[in-house]
Structure 1
Amino acid sequence: MIFCSAILFASCSVLPYRKTDHYIYLQKEKRGNQNWKLIWQDDFNGKLIDSTKWSKIPKGTADWNKHMSSNPACYAQSDGKLYLKGIKNPDTSADSRPYLTGGLYTKGKFAYQYGKIEIHAKLECAEGAWPAMWMLAEQNKYGKYPNNGEIDIMEHLNRDSIIYQTTHSYYTLNLKQKDNPPHGGTAKININNYHTFGLEWYPDRLVFTLDGLETFRYPRIKGVDPSQWPYDQPFYVMIDQQLGGSWVGKVNKDQLPVQMIVDWVKVYQ
């Protein structure tokens, strides 16, 4: 009994996080130079989407979520892959929107503060296709959007050979401070291949990666408005296959369906 208790104590003492509200992982201090430890993952090996980890993103009014739907035709999981689809609406009598899209988030089920996330996926292409992997604040520490910031791990447009990796906040959007420091970058991809899209999140910087290599860095800087760094609170994860909008352009319905194929998602601290 004493031996078992000692093992349990030892295993707990080396956890890289402490949990709050049963699902929010707060990385312990001074872990910046230590090895990453896996704290959360989904390999999509089951037949159904794990509802303890993910929820379907509801319809909204913004460009990115105006076609979001819980329609089963927008989702599939098989052979260890998750398929998030953008489709022509098969029944506009029940829902007048011309297109439907699938997206998942971990809001209310998993959030973390500081660490590393990697998402292994393949992005299919079409005119108007806008797959994204990103994060938003779980607790709204600083008020309404965009005060809490947005971290775009990956956005892809149409048939581009690049991805966008970006930060948005009150500082970049309302105060128009997009170059002090630069708030986003791009990285080249082969659209025919799977890639690992990632982010390393520290108390003083966001390091964006592609296939394990750094592609862009957003640092916390001194001497500017405090809204430059809202990234000191837990964020949840979002993956979605978006369609259409002012940035990506019009959808070519003849090129649908289109999908993002996700192999796995892993989070470390």
Structure 2
Amino acid sequence: MKRLILLAVIIISLLQGCKLRTYTLVDNYQYIQNQKQHQRQVDNKWKLVWKDDFNGNSLDTTKWTKVPAGKSAWNKHMSYDPSCYALLNGLLHLKGIPNPDTSLDKRPFITGGIYSKGKFAFQYGKIEIRAKLGAAKGAWPAMWMLAATNKHGAYPRNGEIDIMEHLNYDSIIYQTIHSYYTLNLKQDKHPPHFGTAKFNTNDFNVFGLKWYPDSIVYSVNGQRTFTYPRVKGVDSSQWPFDQPFYVLIDQQLGGDWVGEVQPADLPVEMIVDWVKVYQ
């Protein structure tokens, strides 16, 4: 009799756990928010589904990969060099530094960045990143998201969600949406595709957004800052945000937008405390 009661309790607990689960896991890394959760969420209803507190002695490679170098403005200085990374006292340091050895790598600067590509992605929900931004001439720290699948085609068809970008010594950050609609069709004002927000330049801030099927609502330190809505009756490329996206966090340097790097201002770093995703 006791065994039957214990078995019943276990079954009920498992069923309750299934009911409380806010997502469906696809390919063992894509957290797709359940359909019934798509309505507006009351803040205390969000459930934490994924996080990293950076409390280990090394980067958790089950969650992150160091960003490789590329030919774009944002990744042209990315490096695997350990000098660009540090994990100290529960904080991840992503650095932009003068290249200490140009004998093989001719680039004048190298930078650190991480992404969750192929390891974690989510569709709809809330993401928050607590970090402190360094400042330098030519510094361009960013937190952003790209599509994990190829649902709508090559970039920019799949869109880009920029949680936060900071330039130089600015006292504001940029929060931006990019897509074929904004870039190729030049529809960047219908609706406006970016906003700016002030932040605490000398302290940690929480940068985030809430992503719904009909809007993306940005925030800084819990305060709503900018909203990008889904618009009816326009080209379908206006809303490619119906698929899982992965997360990128990187300390970029240089480029047409931010301008030239001032070597005397380096090193510069972005210090990340934690990343949390809710659904």
Q: CA RMSD in A?
A: 0.8
User: What TM-score comes out, normalization by structure 1 length?
Assistant: 0.99
Q: Identify the residue that residue 102 of structure 2 maps to in structure 1.
A: 92
SS at match of 2:55: coil
Distance in 2 between the 1:5 and 1:176 partners?
55
Q: Gaps (5+ residues) in structure 2?
A: 1-6
Amino acid at match of 1:228: Q
The alignment status of 1:4 with 2:10, answered yes or no, reads: yes
1:119 aligns to 2:129 (yes or no): yes
- Is residue 224 from structure 1 mapped to residue 234 from structure 2 by the alignment? yes
Matches of 1:215 and 1:140 in 2, distance apart? Answer: 30
Aligned amino acid, residue 88 of structure 1? P
* Partner residue in 1 for 2:23: 17
After the TM superposition, which residues 206-221 of structure 1 pair with which residues of structure 2 at under 5 Å, given as runs?
Answer: 206-221=216-231
TM-superposed deviation, 1:170: 0.2
Query: Bigger radius of gyration, 1 or 2?
Result: 2
SS of residue matched to 1:30: helix
Alignment partners' CA distance in 2, 1:78 and 1:235: 28
Match of 1:134 in 2: 144
Residue in 2 aligned with 1:64? 74
Alignment of structure 1 residues 226-265 onto 2, 5 Å: 226-265=236-275
In 2: Cα distance, 1:97 partner to 1:5 partner? 59
Shift of 1:194: 0.8
Alignment partner of 1:33 is 2:43: no
* CA shift for structure 1 position 254: 1.0
Aligned residue pairs: how many? 269
Q: Distance in 2 between matches of 1:224 and 1:125?
A: 39
Give the aligned partner of residue 4 of structure 2: none
Indicate the structure with greater helix content: 2
Pairwise CA distance, 1:2: 2.7
Q: Distance in 1 between matches of 2:135 and 2:150?
A: 34
Report the identity percentage. 64
Report which stretch shifted further, 184-193 or 259-268.
184-193
In 2, distance between residues paired with 1:30 and 1:36? 13
For residues 33 and 150 of structure 1, the distance between their equivalents in structure 2, rounded to whole angstroms, comes to 22
Q: Secondary structure at the match of 2:175?
A: strand
Is residue 168 of structure 2 the alignment partner of residue 158 of structure 1? yes
TM-score by length of 2: 0.95
How much has 1:264 moved relative to structure 2? 0.4
Counterparts of 1:67 and 1:180, CA distance in 2: 34
